[in-house]
Amino acid sequence: MQNKKSSLGLIILLVSFLGLLIAFSLFLSSRKDRTQARQINPDDEPDEMDTERFHRLVQYTLPDVDETTRRIITAQAMHETGLFTSSVFIRNNNAFGMRMPEKRPTRAFGDPDQDGYANYDNLEDSIEDLALWFDFHNIPLKFETVQEFASAIKEKGYYEAPYYAYSGAMNKHYKTLISMYDEKIT
């Protein structure tokens, strides 16, 4: 009787261990899938960023936003950062030239830099902060055209440049994105 209890206890222990091993394996594979889907190395420095990698980061950070709007957001970042080369982008992880907000919720931290630009721990926070800006201004994050996007943010004082100049520059970057992705599809 004692041997049967010991054997049963050993079987329960082995089954429990096997269950934990399977659960741990599933956990690791889901993390691997998430990292592969993201395809962004967290150790990459912002100055090593390129358009395609940044766009994948936008897709990862804003999964509920439609693809057209995500491309427009990427085009805005391309414009605001001078194709991901500006000192504010590199130094502050600031992909949109955001200033440190005074009233709205933000993902920025600390004091602004000497020019008033917001600092972010990482690029995901910068992208999320743009979404918070839209939410604060009651603008749905859904756009069909660059012109619609540029007009909406101009009305809320996001930029001071003339509308035609800002939307024209963004549109140029958006067309680059379209041609990049059309080439990959065909």
pLDDT at 115: 87
Is it the case that residue 118 has pLDDT exceeding 60? Answer: yes
Mean pLDDT of the chain: 84
> What average pLDDT score do residues 49-58 get?
91
40 or 34, which is more confident?
Answer: 40
Indicate if 88 and 28 belong to the same structural domain. Answer: no
Sequence-ordered list of residues with C-beta below 8 angstroms from that of 86, at least 6 positions apart, any chain: 80, 97
Indicate if 128 and 101 belong to the same structural domain. Answer: yes
Domain count, the chain: 2
Q: How far apart are the first and last CA of the chain?
A: 71
Sequence-ordered list of residues with C-beta below 8 angstroms from that of 36, at least 6 positions apart, any chain: none
Sequence-ordered list of residues with C-beta below 8 angstroms from that of 47, at least 6 positions apart, any chain: 84, 85, 89, 90
CATH number at residue 126: 1.10.530.10
Indicate if 51 and 18 belong to the same structural domain. Answer: no
Tens digits of residue pLDDT in 6-36: 777 777 767 777 766 676 566 555 444 433 3
pLDDT at 135: 97
> What average pLDDT score do residues 72-95 get?
96
Residue with tokens 């993902």: 107
Sequence-ordered list of residues with C-beta below 8 angstroms from that of 170, at least 6 positions apart, any chain: 72, 75, 76, 79, 146, 149, 150
What are the φ/ψ torsions at residue 109 (nearest 5 degrees)?
-135, 160
